[in-house]
Amino acid sequence: MDRKGTAGSTQDATRQLVSFSLDREEFGVDILKVQEIVKLQKIARVPRSPEFVEGVINLRGNVIPVVDLRRKFGLPAAERAAHNRIIVFNIREKMVGVLVDRVEKVLRIPEDQIVAPPEVGGSGNQSFITGIGKLGENLVTLVDIEIMLEDQEVFDLNEIGAAREAVQNEPASLPAAAVPAGNRKSARPKRGTRASKT
């Protein structure tokens, strides 16, 4: 009886995620780390910031650095659109925004439908990809944002005076910053770990 109870508890356990899309692939992040989701707004550039940082936004008086996840993953640039969103995460008591193509929905994936990501070659660090969730015929790549950003300079932007000054001095009419063209070196998820959609 105890074994059945334990097995049932494991089978019933689910992981709650916020899913988003990048380049027609679906990813999922822990819903508990998501502070809020906001529409695309004016993004002010910060000189000498890391290449994957799009800039900063002023969210109700809080200056928040914004990471362009396409750029971070080495995906091709895309035109800004109304469905783009900034997911704001609370990581180590610091707020960081992540720019994505589209926020899809809240997912509940049973733990027994999550498998370890396949091992892939290459020099890129893929440790932030924590698993592959199976939803019928669809696959969702599970990403740990905190691991992905832990070694980056994003958190330091909260303390850079230039970031605050950039937000205050940008003209109100300035549109959201466009992604510069050109190839960029980044930690791109390998094809074996990218989700497929039908």
Position 100 in a domain: yes
Q: Which residues contact 89 (CB under 8 A, 6 or more apart)?
A: 29, 33, 34, 35, 95, 96, 97, 98, 145, 146
* 163: containing domain: 15-177
Angle (CA) 37 38 43, round 5°: 130
Separation in Å, CA 121 to CA 125, 128, 169: 10, 15, 45
DSSP assignment string, 176-194? PPPPPPS-----PPPGGGS
Position 96 in a domain: yes
Assess contact for 196 and 27: CB atoms under 8 A: no
Say how many C-beta atoms besides its own lie within 10 A of residue 111's C-beta. 13
Position 120 in a domain: yes
Position 190 in a domain: no
Assess contact for 130 and 146: CB atoms under 8 A: no
Position 3 in a domain: no
Position 6 in a domain: no
CATH code of the domain containing 42: 2.40.50.180
Q: Which of 82, 60, 52 is nearest to 176 (CA)?
A: 82
The pLDDT score that the predictor gives to residue 92 is: 78
Tell me whether residue 79 is exposed, middle or buried, using C-beta atoms within 10 angstroms of its C-beta: 0 to 12, 13 to 18, 19 or more.
exposed
Position 27 in a domain: yes
pTM > 0.75: no
Assess contact for 194 and 131: CB atoms under 8 A: no
Q: pLDDT tens per residue, the chain (198 residues)?
A: 444 444 444 456 999 999 999 988 999 999 999 999 999 999 988 887 888 889 899 998 888 899 999 998 888 888 899 999 999 998 877 889 999 999 999 999 999 999 998 876 554 567 889 999 998 889 999 999 888 876 555 666 666 544 555 556 665 434 444 433 444 444 555 554 444 444
Between the two ends of the chain, the Cα-to-Cα distance in Å is 41
One-letter amino acid of 104: E
Assess contact for 195 and 139: CB atoms under 8 A: yes
Position 42 in a domain: yes
One-letter amino acid of 35: Q
The pLDDT score that the predictor gives to residue 126 is: 73
One-letter amino acid of 31: I
Number of folded domains that form the chain? 1
